[in-house]
Structure 1
Amino acid sequence: MKIAVMGAGAVGCYYGGMLARAGHEVVLIGRPQHVEAVLRDGLLLDTQTFTAHVPMAASTDASAVAGAALVLFCVKSTDTESAAAEMRPHLLPGALLLSLQNGVDNADRLQAALPDQEVAASVVYVASEMAGPGHIRHHGRGELVLAATKTTPQVAAMLTDAGVPTEVSDNVAGALWAKLILNCAYNALSAIAQLPYGRVVAGEGVPAVMRDVVDECVAVARANGVRLPGDPHVAVEQLVLSMPNQYSSTAQDMARGKRSEIDHLNGYVMRRGEALGVATPVNRALHTLVKLIESRADPA
């Protein structure tokens, strides 16, 4: 199968690299420095169990999605509509677009932008980072949960065969909210402190703050009619055990002076809370602090 990765960052490169290593034809679409390194040396896939240079195609242009039966859509939440517009003229009719993004509404936004394409939401559980141009470092986990559509069972089997544990769920909305709660609990705190998860949770007063964040998120999710799987508090407590050295994506963005996705994480919970009449003061405070820190990089 030809597969395109739109937004070849830490998430897209990990899954694209695993699929290419399994023999699929993969093209990464990303930034020039990264693309040059991949075209020259292949993608350096540095995982917990193996390290390999994986040859594959790469491009800086969205037209590279042409002919792909599967598109892993991995751009930042802030870029969903603009990236969809860039891809639109080149997409293969009938191609499946998997949204491998943070937040809970990206698949809906992508579907609205590309109404003639099949779009499926997915929940991503992977700790990875770009260690340099053409170099992806994997810190842990890697499983995916896909929304149930006519195509996703076959795609899930293909991903599993490539070493990516994947399941199909009829409650992907609940799984997306469960992942959002993890992000709301960890991302802003890791970004503000510029510390990995293990050191974040060891901070004075942090566990109580995280419990407050989770309580607010759960209240908003329930008011929104979402059926949450499992116990979100237990999930938050266990995440650090599998990713103690991971910096949140928000922390990585801020360290590079890039705009983060905080508006689609704690900011999203804050806005939904306002609409539903649910108070979210701790999520509001974390959102505000991250935005203030981001503003330091703004010349205005």
Structure 2
Amino acid sequence: MLMPPMQSQSYEEQAMKFAVMGAGAVGCYYGGMLARAGHDVVLIARRQHVEAIQRDGLRLDTKSFDEHVRLSASTEPSAAEGADVVLFCVKSTDTDSAALALKPYLNERTLVVSLQNGVENAERLRELLPQEVAAAVVYVATELAGPGHVRHHGRGELVIEPSSMSEEVARTLSAASVPTEISDNVRGALWAKLVLNCAYNALSAIAQTPYGRLVQGEGVTRVMRDIVDECLAVANADGVTIPGDVDAAVRGIAQTMPNQYSSTAQDMARGKRSEIDHLNGLIVRRGEALGVPTPANRMLHVLVKLLEAEREKR
């Protein structure tokens, strides 16, 4: 059934317009949740995806509901014109090109929120855009199950760094059933997420295996231990304070998202270029710069790059 947006927010919150640049699985989930709560949302995505959403609405297939949500969708960055907030969800490899395509259509008061993997994207956006940029850490398990169909496997919370609009955005997202908090240590939280990605993404991609089965493989948890130790050593040398219990967080991923394939695995299965250069590859580069050995991360980075090169030949 095609559901109209829920009218549950105050007038001030309803007046906010959101644009989602790079509306893949992550962007569609958050954009869909905002639209379902009654907000003005436009998804900027690939043509096949956009056509399905324009025809049928966005199918939000979650653990608690399965609905088609009516919202706008476009293939053009110009659709972001007039947005109060842009959720910037493109792959790290496309940050520069997407930012420059978006730039002419943003007003001076637009807040750009980077919902991307890696730890360098927000800084890069600040170099490319005059608008205020806030980094965010994303904890959600989603996949595109087909054109116009996002499937949610678990979690969904966000951590955003302080900005002039962060409190309003956090309230709006939380009211849309997206738990959101503001943190002064988003850099550390981004590194914590990076460690999780380095531990799981490449291994899930190489084996094309979801997290729950992956950790049951012979020797996998020992390899993950090596990966995490290298990441923590690089972070320490780089002056990064990572919050929380990293080891517990690594163990928890397989428990809370047992059926999830990593984004790198999903990219490779579709023949798309992955973000491996911004995950294990970043650990290798920072390790080289700081004099920290990273052999486990280097091996995973090389293996994924080799697999990508082979797929490009087919």
Q: Hey, what does 1:67 align to over in structure 2? A: 82
Match 1:207 to one of 208, 221, 224: 221
1:143 aligns with 2:154: no
State the shift of 1:172 in Å.
0.3
Secondary structure (helix, strand or coil) at the match of 2:240 reads coil
Q: Partners of 2:75 and 2:108 in 1: how far apart? A: 22
1:201-226 deviation per Cα after TM superposition (whole angstroms, max 9, x unaligned) = 00000000000000000000010000
Identity of aligned residues (%): 69
Partner of 2:204: 190
Q: Amino acid of the residue matched to residue 30 of structure 2?
A: Y
Q: Displacement, 1:154?
A: 1.1
Aligned residue for 2:241? 227
Cα root mean square deviation, aligned: 0.8
Question: Residue deviations 1:220-267, cap 9 Å, x none?
Answer: 001000011012111101111100000000000000000000000000
State yes or no: 1:36 paired with 2:51: yes
CA contact (8 A) 2:195 2:228 kept: yes
Partner of 2:61 in structure 1?
Answer: 46
Aligned match of 1:299: 313
Task: Verify: 1:85 aligned to 2:100, yes or no.
Answer: yes
Q: Deviations over 1:15-66 (max 9, x none)?
A: 0000000000100000000000000010000011011110011000111110
Q: Which residue of 1 aligns with 2:287?
A: 273
Cα distance, 1:299 vs structure 2: 3.1
Q: Residues of 1 paired with 2:253 and 2:212: CA distance?
A: 10
Unaligned runs of 5+ in 1: none
TM-score (norm: length of structure 1)? 0.99
Tell me, in whole angstroms, the C-alpha distance in 2 between the residues paired with 1:166 and 1:228: 19
Q: 2:26 aligns with which of 8, 11, 17?
A: 11
State the shift of 1:153 in Å: 1.1
Structure 2 residue aligned with 1:55: 70
Task: For 2:56 and 2:304, locate their aligned partners in 1 and report how far apart those are by CA, in whole Å.
Answer: 37
Does the 8 Å CA contact 2:158/2:179 hold for their aligned counterparts? yes
Residue in structure 2 matched with residue 21 of structure 1 by the alignment: 36
**Which letter maps to 1:184?**
C
Shift of 1:122: 0.2
2:230 alignment partner in structure 1: 216
Map of 1:241 onto structure 2? 255
Moved over 3 A (4+): none
Matched, 1:119 2:172: no
Q: SS where residue 254 of structure 1 aligns? A: helix
How far does residue 193 in structure 1 lie from its aligned partner after superposition? 0.1
1:167 offset after TM fit, Å?
A: 0.2
Q: Give the 3-state SS of the residue equivalent to 2:157 in structure 1.
A: strand
Unaligned runs of 5+ in 2: 1-15
Aligned residues: 299
Name the CA distance, whole Å, in 2 between partners of 1:135 and 1:4: 18
Q: Take 1:296 and 1:231, find their aligned partners in 2: how far apart are those partners?
A: 38
Equivalent position to 1:155, from 150, 154, 169: 169
The one-letter amino acid paired with 1:89 is P
Separation in structure 1 between the aligned mates of residue 175 and residue 25 of structure 2, nearest angstrom: 21
